[in-house]
Amino acid sequence: MTKNLFLILILSTCIFACNDETESEETNINDGGNENVAGEAAAGEAAAGEAAAAEAAAGEATAGETDEMMLEIIGSYTDNFMTEHVITDETWTQTYGEDAPSIFNIEIFNNEAQYLIAQNDEGNMYSPSLWSRIDWTINGDELWFCQGVFDAESAENAESAAAADATDPANSGCGTFAWSLLTAQ
């Protein structure tokens, strides 16, 4: 039994170290007639190949999922108050005229539920380092947003806040106000 394990280890090492399949086949043929050892070594090599293929396939699936998980409203916009908005997967930057920009560092987003949670940048004029919830909706062909929460103590508090009412964004639903219209630049 110990001799068979020793032969399996030697053959496995040789099979995985040798890139030439012909040389591996010759080793299996000349192993003293022990077909079980050669079969087990070949099965080990096949299993290793299958594991590598499965790992590669999993990596491809992950990459595909990552592509699908991009924030769907990325772009440059101007709102109905002439504030410029630049939205990436990482930040939502709002700049009004000559004022310093307000930057919101996106931590969570949900395209299906149409909201994101962002930490207000520490350099923001209002509510620095606190948390915001920004909801968006598409009404017809118009993109609207509502920053209904801008001063939550944590991401969890911002996310647990009620979503803005998207029923009539042009007239109401963002607290006591209408939502803001975003027009692509």
Asked if residues 180 and 87 have their Cβ atoms less than 8 Å apart, the reply is no
Global pTM value: 0.64
pLDDT digits (tens, 9 = 90+) for 131-155: 999 999 999 999 999 999 999 999 9
In eight-state DSSP terms, residue 178 is: P
Predicted confidence at residue 69, as pLDDT, reads 86
* Tokens encoding 182: 């975003």
pLDDT digits (tens, 9 = 90+) for 98-123: 999 999 999 999 999 999 999 999 99
Predicted confidence at residue 54, as pLDDT, reads 42
Strand partners, 78: 84, 183
